[in-house]
Amino acid sequence: MDDKTKIRLTAAEMSGLWSQYINDTLATCVSSYYLEKVEDEEVRPIVEWSLRTAKENLAIMQELFQKEGFPIPHGFTEQDVDPQAPKLFSDTFVLRYFRHMSILALASNSAALGLAARQDVVAFHKRVVDKAIDLQDLTRNLMLKQGTYIRPPYISVPDKVDFVEKQSFLTGFFGKKRSFTSIEITHLFLNVHANAIGKDLITGFAQTAQDKEVKQFLLRGMQLSQKFVDIFSRILINEDLPAPMNWDSAVTDSTTPVFSDKLIMFHVSAMIAAGIGNFGVSMAASIRRDLATRYATLIPEIARYAEDAANLMIKHGWLEEPPQADDRDKLIKG
């Protein structure tokens, strides 16, 4: 039988592996720092598990890259983190962080898995998805045990199956508005939750970043995240639905640098990209026009922030180029 792994990597397979490699080098840096600072003995095994998983992923990808003659991405190294820096984030935040990262890993690797054809690449992305599910279970179970898991709002169970009969189901700008569907509520909750975590993370980064431009960029990110939290929370509250709230003081008062500005900017950029994706999916899933329009008006704002992040990273030489198609004009002209 032919060895199917000798088939060339497609652009989609290169993209999925390249992105995962960069992300796992970042995860190794972040997890190694968290491991040095974690105090809760129930959280510690989860941090250890996450660090070990990231290192295992990197080893698998390095072998695959070497077999393909594919240059191993630089990503992030021990030069991008100081594990001996003072504690910056609470253990409760660390638990929330890993839960949120598992959600992002599920989304990105599910997409990569859907486009992969080579058996070794498929097997790798399946592994990452399985590990992300395991991390979901580990974090959820401990948060439920410790009483820090924030559930989405409850609504009444429907009395019967029903079908939409009037166009008014779509309206929302004028007159009486229908109540939100469970799908719309879910996306509002998710966007509050994601931006709250983002704000906490960016706050810690802003306190410890070294470059003035990076600090200003992060301050803007803090304001933007809080704005989104306020908008989506207000929408829920106006519908007599509870908005998720955090009672944990996530960030300490430390100002000692922990991560390189390069790592900070990449991490924030990745979360911005995830936020744009969340808004897009939420807009598509929101049938009530006023809600869909609200998402549509916010996407350009966060997109501008993403562009500013890219420009700042390019300026400092921090933006590593993903694999690109051959420039035929350049090749022809020599």
Q: What is the pLDDT of residues 273-331, one digit of tens each?
A: 999 999 999 999 998 888 999 999 999 999 999 999 999 999 999 999 988 887 777 77
Q: Which domain holds residue 273?
A: 177-316
Residue 265 lies in a domain: yes
Number of other residues whose CB lies within 10 A of the CB of residue 301: 13
Please tell me the predicted confidence (pLDDT) of residue 5: 47
pTM more than 0.85: yes
Based on the domain organization, do 53 and 121 belong to the same domain? yes
Q: Are both 99 and 185 inside the same structural domain? A: no
Is residue 166 scored above 70 in pLDDT? Answer: no
* Residue 167 predicted with pLDDT over 60: no
Q: What is the pLDDT of residue 1?
A: 45
Mean of pLDDT values over 16-20: 96
Q: Residue 169: inside a domain, yes or no?
A: no
Residues 119 and 239 both lie in one domain: no
Domain-embedded: residue 141: yes
Residues 181 and 308 placed together within one structural domain of the fold: yes
CATH number of the domain that residue 226 is part of:
1.20.1260.10
Hey, what amino acid is at 212? Answer: K
Name the average pLDDT for the chain. Answer: 91
Q: In this structure, how many other beta carbons lie within 10 angstroms of the beta carbon of residue 9?
A: 22
Last residue of a domain, one of 103, 126, 146: 146
Q: Within 13 Å, how many C-alpha atoms sit on residue 3's CB side?
A: 4
Share of the chain above pLDDT 70, in %: 93
> What is residue 3's predicted lDDT score, i.e. its pLDDT?
56
| Residue 89, helix vs strand vs coil | strand
**What's the total number of domains in the chain?**
2
Same domain (yes/no): 192, 139 = no
| Residue 175 pLDDT grade (very low, low, confident, very high; cuts 50, 70, 90) | low
Residue 225 lies in a domain: yes
Classify residue 158: in a domain, yes or no: no
**156: confidence class by pLDDT, cuts 50, 70, 90:** confident
